[in-house]
Amino acid sequence: MPALACLNGVFSSPEDARVPIWDRGFLFGDSVYEVCRLYQGRAWLEAEHWARLDRSLSAVRIRGVDLDALALRMRQTVLKSQIKEGIVYIQFTRGVAPRAHAFPQPPVPPTELIVVMPYDDGPTARRRIEGAAVISRPDLRWGRCDIKSTNLLPNVLACQEATEAGAIEAVLVDRDGYVTEATHSSLLWVRQGVVEASPEGTEILPGTTRQLLLRLIREEGLSFRETRIARSELAACEEVLLSGTTLELMPVVRVDGDPVGSGMPGPIARRLQTAFRRSVQRWLETGA
């Protein structure tokens, strides 16, 4: 099934969807976005994605978005695309107005983009079994990484370096030497049997998958703690994990070439991967 776009309520192929050059998303990156995973044609963790989108829109003061209408249009786009295993990309920009830094006055309607595209999980599924390599890079992002904005240049550049190094992600290291998260996924690690991750705040994106994992960790009877970790301590952890909408839960087996733990995916990663699959399956069968 080919990808399908819905731009300001108009369906077309993504290639035919056009925004004017005065769109503030194009000019300033003045926009926020969300990415959801479709399993069997249904949007996983939909409520969590809407909640985060709502927070991002409020934080950057993009007004006039009706999230109920958006949810309806997303479902229409998914149905029309007939895509079952896929990704939904949603973006709102502050709208179209001649270039000036301050907000358009009077305000203009936001630009709304929904794209539904097929997603082949095969290569990532294989990586989830073997584990993946990451590199580390300085975190050059801004002071509001909790907002899911499309200003992603530092993420793009660090991820490209990871790709060139044969790694799947770059973990980002702040000025004090502490790891924050990765370019498009959350980072968790295990020390003395306790799963740990950076504290929620302005330095990281509140990941919807991380949020789910915290629930699964509790249900599995495991312990979780928010704390910080220096880059230099990462390879000495028992396990390191990435989480994200398409990665789901990815064991990390190498950091900058050094093996993590035994150099193989660890037992906690395996338990949480199983719990994740069970959770998706239960939701598909019962909606809960």
Please identify every residue annotated as catalytic. Answer: 148
CB of 47 to ligand PLP, least distance (A): 12
**Should residue 94 be labelled a site residue for ligand PLP when binding is judged by CB under 6 A?**
no
Q: How far is CA 155 from the centre of its chain?
A: 12
Q: How far is the CB of 154 from ligand PLP (least distance, A)?
A: 10
Judged by CB under 6 A, the residue of 185, 198, 273, 279 near ligand PLP is 185
Contact between 261 and ligand PLP by CB under 6 A: the answer reads no
Min dist. Cβ of residue 245 to ligand PLP (A): 3
For 38, 93, 167, 168, the CA distances from 273, given in Å and listed in that order, are 18, 35, 21, 18
Neighbours of 33 (CB within 10 A): 17
CA distance 3 to 185: 24
Please select the residue that binds ligand PLP; options are 110, 154, 207, 251, rule is CB under 6 A.
207
Q: What minimum distance in Å lies between the beta carbon of 33 and ligand PLP?
A: 9
282 burial (CB, 10 Å; 0-12 / 13-18 / 19+) is exposed
Any idea how long the chain is?
288
Residues of span 18-37 touching ligand PLP by CB under 6 A? 35
Q: Is 181 within 8 Å of 205 (Cβ atoms)?
A: yes
Three-class DSSP category at 258: strand
Binding mask 53-92 for ligand PLP (x = CB under 6 A): ----------------------------------------
Residue 209 sits in the site that holds ligand PLP (CB under 6 A): yes
SS (H, E, C) 147-200: CCECCCHHHHHHHHHHHHCCCCEEEEECCCCEEEEECCCEEEEEECCEEEECCC
Which range of residues in 72-80, 87-95, 114-122, 204-212 is near ligand PLP by CB under 6 A? 204-212
Q: Which of 154, 244, 261, 266 binds ligand PLP (CB under 6 A)?
A: 244
Structure tokens at 60: 């950057």
Q: By CB under 6 A, name the one of 184, 203, 229, 251 that touches ligand PLP.
A: 184
* Minimum CB distance to ligand PLP, residue 142 (Å): 12
Q: Which residues of this protein are in contact with ligand PLP, per CB under 6 A?
A: 35, 181, 184-186, 205, 207-210, 243-245
